[in-house]
Amino acid sequence: MKKDNLVIAKKKFYSRLIVGTGKYKNMRECARAINFSGAEIVTVAVRRVNITDKKKPLLMDYIDPKKITYLPNTAGCFNSDEALRTLRLAREIGGWKLVKLEVLGDKKNLLPEMIETLKSTEVLTKEGFKVMVYCNDDPLMCKRLENAGACAIMPLAAPIGSGLGIQNKINIRIIRKQTKLPLIIDAGLGQASDASIAMELGCDGVLVNTAIAKAKKPFEMAVAFKHAVIAGRKSYLSGRMNKTLMGNPSSPQKGTI
């Protein structure tokens, strides 16, 4: 499995689990959970997480950007202008070009606003950003994002923070079949088995925040997600058995007494 790397924008990662940095009790707990998860990429909400004010706790003091890849995202943005301004600021602050684009439609459902998302993707790719895009599980729109230059497609499993798990396996399968880009399930996972299901569908990775941060035992849940992603990936690569309607004895019938 060591050669089975996740490759995003030509950069290799061993772990296929990406984790968020929000909703934890404090930065220390966040850092410990990330360590237990084995994740090599963490999302950073540029508009919410302190990465510049040295008078307050800095994320960099707890999570070393030289060891963990920071993925600036546009959480809290509800139109293209806000998202573009946020990521341009991230590039100025830290030189980040690998980013996660997230443009939401409303504050209640937190579903992607796909027209603004597509518009933003087109602009950002022309400006040299490597854009990982949070989106609906719509195969047609995912193809348009790919054509617009996205470096990874990140359809939701369910609404952000809902913990409902994957609601539309058929669409995920279609998206997997039609794209060669990294396919990463983003949002809505609630437990480790959800991550295994995503990986068994052929996804290249999963992004998890609330399911770990709000678990009763976040460190244990981080470990559970780590192993679930590995198990799901191995299961997918192994090739599952064919399904049958009737029973099929496990023991050989030839030479039965």
The answer to whether 100 is a known catalytic residue is yes
HEC profile for the chain?
A: CCCCCEEECCEEECCCEEEECCCCCCHHHHHHHHHHHCCCEEEEECCCCCCCCCCCCCHHHCCCCCCCEEEEECCCCCCHHHHHHHHHHHHHHHCCCEEEECCECCCCCCCECHHHHHHHHHHHHHCCCEEEEEECCCHHHHHHHHHCCCCEEEECCCCCCCCCCCCCHHHHHHHHHHCCCCEEEECCCCCHHHHHHHHHCCCCEEEECHHHHCCCCHHHHHHHHHHHHHHHHHHHHHCCCCCCCCCCCCCCCCCCC
How many angstroms separate the Cα of 175 from the Cα of each of 53, 134, 203?
41, 14, 9
- Tally the residues of the chain: 257
Which entry of 11, 23, 66, 100 is annotated as an active-site residue?
100
Which one-letter amino acid corresponds to residue 215?
Answer: A
Enumerate the active-site residues.
100
